[in-house]
Amino acid sequence: MPTKQDLENAINAYKTARAEAQKYGDEVMQALQMEDLVSSSTAKEIFIRKRNRAIQAMENGNKAAQLADHAVNELLAMGLGD
């Protein structure tokens, strides 16, 4: 049987995943800006790879947040939020 601690854990997992997604979203933006600033094709490739890794990490964070949100909603539906 789920407990209030399980609900707290799910809420913390959601907050952590959202923060990670935001962090990597910011990293995507920085890589895009740097990509525009550099003229060397080798440097551009480095920032393109960095951007692509950050996009993947951001997407993973968003998926984790969605899963945690679903868990929170399920636990609330069981009456743990009362």
Sign for the CA dihedral angle at 19, 22, 28, 32 comes to: negative
CA gap 8, 20 in Å, rounded: 18
Domain-embedded: residue 11: yes
Range of the domain at 72: 4-77
Fill in the amino acid letter for 23: K
In order of 5, 52, 59, the CA distances from 74 in angstroms are 14, 33, 23
| pLDDT, mean of residues 9-32 | 96
Stated pTM of the model: 0.84
Domain-embedded: residue 82: no
Supply the pLDDT for residue 79. 86
Domain-embedded: residue 54: yes
pLDDT category at 1 given cuts 50, 70, 90 is confident
**Sole residue written with tokens 């997992």:** 13
Of the chain, the end-to-end C-alpha distance in Å amounts to: 15
Overall domain count for the chain: 1
| pLDDT, mean of residues 16-24 | 97
